[in-house]
Structure 1
Amino acid sequence: MSKLQDNSLVPIASKILSHITELSQHLSLHSIAPPNLRVGANSDLWTAHSAKIDALRSTILGLTQRLDKLLEGPHGFLHEYVSPNWEHGALYTLLEFDVLQKIPLEDGASVSAVRLAEQSSLPAEKLLRICRLVATAGILEENKEGEFAHTAISETLVRDEGFRSWVHFQLFETRVASAHLADSLKKPNPFWTGEAAFEHAWGVPMYTWHAQHPEKGKRFAQAMNSVAQTLDPGDSLIIDWLSSHTNFTQASNALLIEVSGRTGSFSQRLATLFPALSFEVQDSSPELLSRGEQLILSNPDPNLAGRIRFRNHDLFGPRSVGDLPVHEDTSPTIFLLRSVLWNMPDDSVASLLQSFIPSLQCRQANGPTPCLLISDLVSPVYGTFAPHVEKAFRRRDVTLMTMHNVQQRTAEEWGNLIRRADARFKVTYSERYSSHSYRGLWQVQLKDDIKSNILDSEL
Structure 2
Amino acid sequence: MISKTQDTDSLVSVASAILTHTAQLSQHLFQQSITPPSLHVGASSELWTTHSGQIEELRSNILGLTQRLDKLLEGPHGFLHEYVSPSWEHGALYTLLEFDVLQKIPLEEGAAVTAVRLAEQSNLPAEKLLRICRLAATAGILEENNEGEFGHTVISETLVKDEGFRSWVHFQLFETRVASAHLADSLKKPNPFWTGKAAFEQAWGMPMYTWHAQNPEKGKRFAQAMESVAQTLDPGNGLVIDWLSSHAEVSQASKGRLIEVSGKTGSFSQHLATLFPALSFEVEDPSADLLSRGKQLLDPSLTDRVHFEKRDLFGPRSVEDLGGVGSATFLIRSVLWSLPDDAVIELLQSFVPSLQRHQTGGPAPCLLICDLVSPAYGTFAPHIEKAFRRRDVTLMTMHNVQQRTAKEWRNLIRKADGRFKATYSERYSSHSCRGLWQVQLQDDVENDGSDSDHSDKFDSEF
TM-score by length of 2: 0.94
**How many percent of aligned residue pairs carry the same amino acid?**
77
SS in 2 for 1:306: coil
Cα distance between partner residues in 2 of 1:85 and 1:429: 40
Paired residue type of 2:332: L
Residue 332 of structure 1 and its aligned partner are, at CA, apart by 1.4
Cα distance between partner residues in 1 of 2:397 and 2:164: 23
SS in 2 for 1:389: helix
Residue 451 of structure 1 and its aligned partner are, at CA, apart by 6.0
Residue matched to 1:450: 445
Pick the aligned partner of 1:307 from 293, 305, 308: 305
SS in 2 for 1:337: strand
Residue matched to 2:235: 233
Cα distance between partner residues in 2 of 1:47 and 1:126: 36
Q: Please, which moves more after superposition, 5-14 or 436-445?
A: 5-14
SS in 2 for 1:303: helix
Cα distance between partner residues in 2 of 1:162 and 1:420: 39
Q: Please, which moves more after superposition, 317-326 or 213-222?
A: 317-326
Residue matched to 1:60: 62
Residue matched to 2:274: 272
After TM superposition, the structure 1 = structure 2 runs for residues 18-417 of structure 1, keeping only pairs within 5 Å, are: 18-296=20-298, 299=299, 302-327=300-325, 331-417=326-412
Cα distance between partner residues in 1 of 2:138 and 2:216: 34
SS in 1 for 2:51: coil
Residue 365 of structure 1 and its aligned partner are, at CA, apart by 3.6
Decide whether the 8 Å contact of 2:249 with 2:362 is kept in 1: no
Residue matched to 2:3: none
Cα distance between partner residues in 2 of 1:365 and 1:337: 25
CA displacement 1:24-73 (0-9 Å, x = unmatched): 11000000011001000000000013311111000000000000000001
SS in 2 for 1:342: helix
Residue 253 of structure 1 and its aligned partner are, at CA, apart by 1.8
TM-score by length of 1: 0.95
CA displacement 1:229-266 (0-9 Å, x = unmatched): 00010111111111111222122221000000000011
Q: Please, which moves more after superposition, 357-366 or 203-212?
A: 357-366
SS in 1 for 2:354: helix
Cα distance between partner residues in 2 of 1:395 and 1:451: 40
Cα distance between partner residues in 2 of 1:121 and 1:140: 20
Cα distance between partner residues in 2 of 1:336 and 1:449: 18
CA displacement 1:331-376 (0-9 Å, x = unmatched): 3111000000001111110100000000000123444311100000
Cα RMSD between the aligned structures? 1.2
Paired residue type of 1:184: S
Cα distance between partner residues in 2 of 1:18 and 1:415: 42
Structure 1 alignment gaps of length 5 or more = 453-458
Matched positions, count: 442
Residue 306 of structure 1 and its aligned partner are, at CA, apart by 1.1
Decide whether the 8 Å contact of 2:199 with 2:397 is kept in 1: yes
Paired residue type of 1:372: L
Structure 2 alignment gaps of length 5 or more = 1-6, 448-453, 455-462
Residue 6 of structure 1 and its aligned partner are, at CA, apart by 3.6
Cα distance between partner residues in 1 of 2:444 and 2:173: 52
Cα distance between partner residues in 2 of 1:267 and 1:366: 26
Q: Please, which moves more after superposition, 239-248 or 351-360?
A: 239-248
Change (3 A) 1:366 1:277: closer
